[in-house]
């Protein structure tokens, strides 16, 4: 079972209830990195494109209007194809 969950184009009500617009805003330049996620990370992509891969997992292509949850304990490869602008919350 994938530890990367995504939902494309969640309802505005869901985003409001989650408080997404109040989360920090981050821009990630194009490039590749590997991150260990020790806590749950939730983010909403405003623009850009990223290919996320779990260790031993299939890559997931994500872009604008995707709401993404990465479960704790994951080592993920981030291949940012187009600079990513996102609201995010960790923990």
| Token digits of residue 9 | 């184009």
Domains, the chain, in order of start with CATH, read 4-90 (2.60.120.10)
Note down pLDDT in tens along the chain; length 91 residues. Answer: 578 999 999 999 999 999 999 999 999 999 999 999 899 999 999 999 999 998 878 899 999 999 999 999 889 999 999 999 999 999 8
CB-side neighbour CA atoms (13 Å) of 1 = 3
Q: Which residue has the tokens 């309802």?
A: 11
Burial class (CB in 10 A: 0-12, 13-18, 19+), 44: buried
> What is the predicted pLDDT for the residue at 1?
57
5, 60 Cβ separation under 8 angstroms: no
pTM of the model: 0.93
């Amino acid at each position: 079972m994938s530890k990367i969950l995504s939902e494309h184009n969640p309802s505005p009500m869901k985003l409001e209830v989650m408080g997404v617009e109040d989360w920090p805003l981050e821009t990630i330049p194009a490039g590749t990195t590997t991150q260990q996620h020790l806590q749950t990370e939730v983010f909403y992509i405003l623009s850009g494109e990223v290919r996320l891969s779990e260790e031993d997992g299939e890559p997931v292509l994500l872009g604008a209007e995707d709401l993404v949850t990465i479960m704790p304990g994951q080592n993920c490869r981030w291949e940012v194809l187009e600079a990513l602008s996102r609201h995010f919350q960790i923990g």
